[in-house]
């Protein structure tokens, strides 16, 4: 399970991920982190069985948790399959299929939004 | 064996023409050889679908009552050119909206083709024959007399690919280029692109009927900047007959608006030579990767590359594997080739012989400029200080000499810069000591031969007001300040 964690000025300074791991024994993989002095956003991956417990603890500590079930969204009416996004994606989640259409491999997407900013037809968007 | 276009058209009429796409033709020639392929195949369809900035449309809006001679005209707040007759105007794909973000001429054209209404606003100066001075209405393609797409430069045969050696992200018409050779982008569809399949321009010429955004269009002549083998075409077509699915308005972040244009060109296989031409492979089509990190007209060539390497999705630069993005849609190009093939097979599209040839040679010249103002001509002497200078001493020097910037030099090389703002900050924080403690170490610099415009952009982007001028060994030769540059503009 992938989750986006949003920290505010209170929670951002606390070592909450370590705390969560110690309490649950869950192995947390950090896929992306942008942490500043007043807020932070971290994308984590947690084993499915422990996801619920991890979420519960983080929420009780005041962290906003968004469960990621979807990858970046592509509007098929807008996409012309030019592929500008492909070389921009840091995790190679975008590629051409056999039909030369641009497709998204959801499990590789880390929701960084890089592709959203470069799409010339504004076909890409984050799902939340 | 020689076929004529008339004979091929006769076959189309009779319904027994053999049409293949350019992609299919490669295989056929490889299997049968050029001679037999020429007997077998009558027409090869080619296609491309890319962002083509040099595109737009002429409109004749019809006359209002009382009539107006449009001096300026806007469609959805995107200005069109009206320096022609009273109600004629040309809307360019890259013209930006004056009110709406990420919207331009290409978007207006797309909306019109989708059947939508757009706002028409015009102003005039009033004449005896055209008394009206203002006009505001809504129009659709049905309302206007003519709407003709006329694109001065489309269908580039091949195009220079782009990369970026600099340490910052570049937002260009070639898409977003990541720092430190982070990616490569390229345009054009290589072996299926029209002009690569007729490199001598035997059948593609003035008057050739083509598929243009879903309508039947025509080649007017060679396009602007036509420079074989970087050939281009000027084309026209009736906007009213076009289909939105074969065009797409676009906005490249940091660059601006443009239009994806879909073009298909049928190539008659008149003889074995044409069969050989249409068998061209991506590996034979070469272009260059240019470094957009150098913001000059003559961008350095990073390396030569074939379309085969580009299309593979990865190229090597300085021993590293770099990922590649196309800017043209191969999916759409394929769709256009197939649609054109279908139309010819159904007898809906007939071939033409060129009325005239387009040039087989030509070069795109650089602009004749009076002079390019370079940094050397505006820089002034810089007062430099060593890093151990005290903050007080630096402050005194600034006041005495009337300076805001002091480059810091150690052993003859630039190691930092100190500004009056840095001094003020140090004073506010009760900081004492040497300038080395408060100076900026990552100095943005310029060079004596750099154009003034580029130096000015560096200052603007970094939000700074001066640039030390250094040579290749980072020895300080002088300094340019934004004050000096603004004097230059005021003059």
Instruction: Please write the tens of the pLDDT for every residue from A17-61.
Output: 999 999 999 999 998 898 888 899 999 989 888 989 999 999 999
CA dist A123 and A79 (Å) reads: 5
Query: What is the structure's pLDDT at B266?
Result: 98
Shortest distance, CA B326 to any CA of chain A (angstroms): 6
DSSP 8-state symbol, B240: G
Query: What is the structure's pLDDT at B25?
Result: 98
Strands B286-291 and B161-163, how do they pair? Answer: parallel
B94 and chain A in contact, CB less than 8 A = no
Query: What is the structure's pLDDT at B368?
Result: 84
Give residues with Cβ within 8 angstroms of A30, minimum separation 6.
A17, A42, A43, A44
Nearest CB neighbour to B327, from listed A82, A96, A101: A82
DSSP 8-state symbol, B470: E
- The angle, 0 to 180 degrees and rounded to 10, between the axes of the packed helices B452-462 and B482-490 is 130
Task: Tell me which residue of B55, B24, B53 sits closest to B40, measured CA to CA.
Answer: B24
Query: What is the structure's pLDDT at B156?
Result: 96
The two tokens of residue B25 are: 């033709």
Q: B129 an active-site residue?
A: yes
Query: What is the structure's pLDDT at B1?
Result: 66
* Chain B neighbors of A101, CB-CB under 8 A: 331
Query: What is the structure's pLDDT at B110?
Result: 98
* Chain B neighbors of A117, CB-CB under 8 A: 176, 253
CA dist B158 and B228 (Å) reads: 9
- Comparing alpha-carbon positions, the chain B residue that sits nearest to A92 is B323
Task: Tell me which residue of B132, B16, B139, B17 sits closest to B71, measured CA to CA.
Answer: B132
* Chain A neighbors of B258, CB-CB under 8 A: 120
Shortest distance, CA B472 to any CA of chain A (angstroms): 32
A118 and chain B in contact, CB less than 8 A = yes
Q: ipTM of this model?
A: 0.83
Nearest CB neighbour to B251, from listed A81, A92, A120: A120
CA dist B439 and B434 (Å) reads: 9
Question: B298 near B229, Cβ under 8 Å?
Answer: no
* Chain B neighbors of A84, CB-CB under 8 A: 175-176, 185, 325-327
Query: What is the structure's pLDDT at B489?
Result: 65
Interface test with B, best of A118, A119, A122 (most B CBs within 10 A): A118
A97 and chain B in contact, CB less than 8 A = no
* Chain A neighbors of B251, CB-CB under 8 A: 120-122
- Comparing alpha-carbon positions, the chain A residue that sits nearest to B328 is A82
Instruction: Say how many residues make up chain B.
Output: 491
Nearest CB neighbour to A99, from listed B248, B260, B331: B331
Query: What is the structure's pLDDT at B298?
Result: 87
Query: What is the structure's pLDDT at B61?
Result: 98
Query: What is the structure's pLDDT at B248?
Result: 98
Burial group, residue B276, by CB count within 10 angstroms (0-12, 13-18, 19+) = middle
B32 and chain A in contact, CB less than 8 A = no
Collapsing DSSP states into helix, strand and coil, what is residue B339?
A: helix
Shortest distance, CA B180 to any CA of chain A (angstroms): 13
- Listed by start position, the domains of chain B span 5-53+150-345, 62-144, 375-490
- Cα B224–B227–B231 angle (5° rounding)? 75
Query: What is the structure's pLDDT at B393?
Result: 92
- Comparing alpha-carbon positions, the chain B residue that sits nearest to A84 is B325
- Comparing alpha-carbon positions, the chain A residue that sits nearest to B254 is A118
Give residues with Cβ within 8 angstroms of B106, minimum separation 6.
B55, B93, B94, B249, B250, B257, B258, B259
Average pLDDT, chain A: 91
Query: What is the structure's pLDDT at B363?
Result: 83
Query: What is the structure's pLDDT at B373?
Result: 86
Q: Do B260 and A81 touch (CB under 8 A)?
A: no
**With helix as H, strand as E and coil as C, how does B93-111 read?**
CCCEECCCCCCEHHHHHHH
* Chain B neighbors of A78, CB-CB under 8 A: 248
Shortest distance, CA A114 to any CA of chain B (angstroms): 10
- Comparing alpha-carbon positions, the chain A residue that sits nearest to B322 is A87
Give tens-digit pLDDT for A74-118.
999 999 999 999 999 999 999 999 999 999 998 888 888 999 999
Give residues with Cβ within 8 angstroms of A15, minimum separation 6.
none
The two tokens of residue B296 are: 């000059």
Give residues with Cβ within 8 angstroms of B475, minimum separation 6.
B412, B413, B414
Give tens-digit pLDDT for A43-55.
998 988 898 999 9
Residues (pLDDT < 70) of chain B are 1, 489-491
Q: Do B332 and A80 touch (CB under 8 A)?
A: yes
Interface test with A, best of B161, B248, B289 (most A CBs within 10 A): B248
A113 and chain B in contact, CB less than 8 A = no
Residues of chain B numbered 263-302 and touching chain A (CB < 8 Å): none
Please provide the CATH number assigned to the domain covering B375-490: 3.10.580.10
Shortest distance, CA B63 to any CA of chain A (angstroms): 35
CA dist B271 and B280 (Å) reads: 15
Helical ranges in chain A per DSSP H = 16-24, 48-60, 114-118
Catalytic residue among B129, B367, B428, B490: B129
- Comparing alpha-carbon positions, the chain A residue that sits nearest to B177 is A88
The two tokens of residue A20 are: 């969560």
Query: Helix, strand, coil shares of chain A as percentages rounded to 5?
Result: 25, 30, 50
Query: What is the structure's pLDDT at B219?
Result: 98
Domains and CATH numbers, chain A: 2-68 (3.30.70.260), 71-128 (3.30.70.20)
The two tokens of residue B34 are: 């050029």
* Chain A neighbors of B106, CB-CB under 8 A: none
């Amino acid at each position: 399970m992938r989750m986006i964690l949003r920290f505010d000025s209170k929670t951002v300074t606390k070592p909450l991920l370590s705390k969560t791991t110690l309490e649950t024994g869950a192995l947390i993989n950090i896929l992306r982190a942008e942490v500043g002095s007043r807020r932070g956003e971290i994308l984590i991956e947690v084993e499915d069985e422990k996801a619920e417990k991890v979420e519960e603890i983080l929420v009780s500590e005041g962290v906003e948790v968004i469960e990621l079930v979807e990858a970046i969204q592509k509007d098929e009416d807008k996409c012309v399959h030019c592929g500008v996004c492909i070389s921009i994606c840091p995790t190679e989640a975008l590629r051409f299929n056999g039909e030369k259409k641009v497709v998204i491999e959801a499990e590789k997407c880390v929701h960084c939004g890089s592709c959203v900013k470069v799409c010339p037809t504004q076909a890409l968007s984050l799902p939340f | 064996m020689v076929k004529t276009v008339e004979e091929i058209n006769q076959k189309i009429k009779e319904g027994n023409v053999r049409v293949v796409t350019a992609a299919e033709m490669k295989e056929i020639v490889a299997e049968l050889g050029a001679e037999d392929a020429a007997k077998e195949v009558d027409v090869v369809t080619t296609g491309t679908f890319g962002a083509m900035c040099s595109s737009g449309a002429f409109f004749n809006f019809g006359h209002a009552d009382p009539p107006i001679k449009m001096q300026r005209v806007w469609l959805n707040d995107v200005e069109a050119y009206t320096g022609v007759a009273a109600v004629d105007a040309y809307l360019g794909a890259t013209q930006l909206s004056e009110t709406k973000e990420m919207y331009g001429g290409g978007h207006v054209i797309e909306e019109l083709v989708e059947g939508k209404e757009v706002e028409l606003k015009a102003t005039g100066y009033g004449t005896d024959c055209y008394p009206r001075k203002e006009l505001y209405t809504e129009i659709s393609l049905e309302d206007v007399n003519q709407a003709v797409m006329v694109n001065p430069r489309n269908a580039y045969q091949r195009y220079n690919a782009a990369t970026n050696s600099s340490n910052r992200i570049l937002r260009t018409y070639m898409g977003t280029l990541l720092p430190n050779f982070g990616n490569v982008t390229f345009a054009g569809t290589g072996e299926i692109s029209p002009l690569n399949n007729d490199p001598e321009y035997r059948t593609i010429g003035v008057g050739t009927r083509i598929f243009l955004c879903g309508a039947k269009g025509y080649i007017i002549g060679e396009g602007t900047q036509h420079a074989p083998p970087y050939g281009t075409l000027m084309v026209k077509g009736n906007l009213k007959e076009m289909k939105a699915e074969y065009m797409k308005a676009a906005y490249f972040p940091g660059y601006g608006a443009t239009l994806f244009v879909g073009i298909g060109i049928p190539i008659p296989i008149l003889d074995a030579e044409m069969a050989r031409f249409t068998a061209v492979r991506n590996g034979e089509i070469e272009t260059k990767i240019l470094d957009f990190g150098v913001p000059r007209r003559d961008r350095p060539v990073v390396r030569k590359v074939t379309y085969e390497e580009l299309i593979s999705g990865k190229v090597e630069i300085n021993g590293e594997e770099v990922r590649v993005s196309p800017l043209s849609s191969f999916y759409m190009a394929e769709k256009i080739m197939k649609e054109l093939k279908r139309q010819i097979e159904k007898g809906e599209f007939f071939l033409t012989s060129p009325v005239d040839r387009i040039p087989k040679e030509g070069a795109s010249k650089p602009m004749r400029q009076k002079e390019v103002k370079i940094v050397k001509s505006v820089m002034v002497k810089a007062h430099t200080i060593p890093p151990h200078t005290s903050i007080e001493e630096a402050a005194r020097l600034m006041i005495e000499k009337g300076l805001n910037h002091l480059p810091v030099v150690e052993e003859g090389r630039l190691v930092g810069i100190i500004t009056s703002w840095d001094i003020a900050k140090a004073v506010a924080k009760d900081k004492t000591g040497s300038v080395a403690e408060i100076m900026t170490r990552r100095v943005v610099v310029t060079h004596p031969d750099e154009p003034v415009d580029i130096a000015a952009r560096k200052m603007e982007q970094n939000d700074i007001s001066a640039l030390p001028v250094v040579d290749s060994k980072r020895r300080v030769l002088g300094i340019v300040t934004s004050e000096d540059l603004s004097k230059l503009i005021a003059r």
